[in-house]
Amino acid sequence: MLAAEAGASRNTLMAYRGDLAAAAAALGRLGDADAEALKSLGGQWQDLAASTVARRASALRRFYGFLYEDGLRADDPSDVLPRPKIKRPLPRLLSAEEVEGMLVDAADRAASGERLPRRDHALLELLYGSGLRASELVALPRRAVRPGEPFLILKGKGEKERLVPISTAAHRAVAAWLEEAPEGAWLFPGEKAHLSRVRLFQIVRAMAARVGIAPERVSPHVLRHAFATHLLEGGADLRTLQALLGHADIATTQIYTHVDSRRLVELVNKRHPLARQDLKTGNALGD
C-alpha cells in the first residue's frame, strides 16, 4: 500500500519495514496484537529518543489503520501507543562565507584535472547550488544535467517531480566531471551502482576539514539548509523555497523563518504598508 498508493520512497519503505520488524520481535504476530500488547511497547521504548518513539508509533498506527480500513481486523488498537511531543530542532547552519571557502577550495583542486577532485567539486556545486537531498543527488542519471538547460526534472520524495535550478557554476563543474567520469548509468557512479549516501557524507566532511571547518558541523543536509537559508536571506519567499526544496507541506519550509527571524522583522518594517512615513512626525511607523 505504501509503495503503490502512497508512493513512498525506497528509504521510507525500509524504515517502515524495520520499525514493524522490531515491534514483531517484541510482540509476535502483529496482526493479532491487542491494545494491552501495544501498551507494553511504551515501557520498552522509554529509553529511546522521542523522535524514535514517534516514528515507531507512527509506523504501527499506519499498519493497524491499513488492517482496519481493509477489513482485515475489526478494530484499530493503535490509539494506546505513545504520542511524544517533538520539538523540531533548528537546522545547523554554515555562513555564506564558509560555503564559499569550500567552493573555492573545491574549484582549485578540480583545476588540477584529477578525476576525484572534479567529481567532488560537481557534488558540492549541486548540493549547495540546487538544494538537492543526498538521496536525490547520488541517484542522478548520467545525463540528468543537460548543457544549456537551466533546470533538471527531478523525482524526489513520494515519486513527485519538481524542477530544480542548475547554476552556471554547477553546469561547468558537471561538464568537467563528465570528461573524466567512468561510463555508466549514473552521474556519480560507485563501486556497484551509484555513489552511496554514506560516501557522500564522508566526502563533504573531508572538504569542510580542508578549509578549517569542523567536520561535525557539515553534512549534505547542512548544505541543503544553507541553500535554503541563504536564499531566504536574499529575498526568496517561502512558497518559492517550498517548491525548490520539494516540501509537500509549507510547514516544513517555515522552519527557515526561525533561522532568519532578524531579516524577516526588517522586511516587515521596510515593506509593510504600516511602515510608511507618518506625515506629521516624518518618522516611519515601523521604527
Residues with catalytic function = 133, 157, 221, 224, 247, 256
Closest by Cα among 109, 125, 113, 115 to 173? 125
User: Could you tell me the three cell numbers for 15?
Assistant: 524504515
User: Residues 158, 6: contact at Cβ < 8 Å?
Assistant: yes
Rounded CA-CA distance 184/248 in Å is 32
Rounded CA-CA distance 116/10 in Å is 28
Rounded CA-CA distance 279/46 in Å is 62
Compute CA 90 distance to the chain's CA centroid, rounded to the nearest angstrom: 13
Strands (E), the chain: 151-155, 161-165
Beta bridge partners of 151: 165
Pairing of strands 151-155, 161-165: antiparallel
> What's the Cα-to-Cα distance from 7 to each of 60, 88, 144, 161, 163, rounded to whole Å?
18, 25, 22, 12, 19
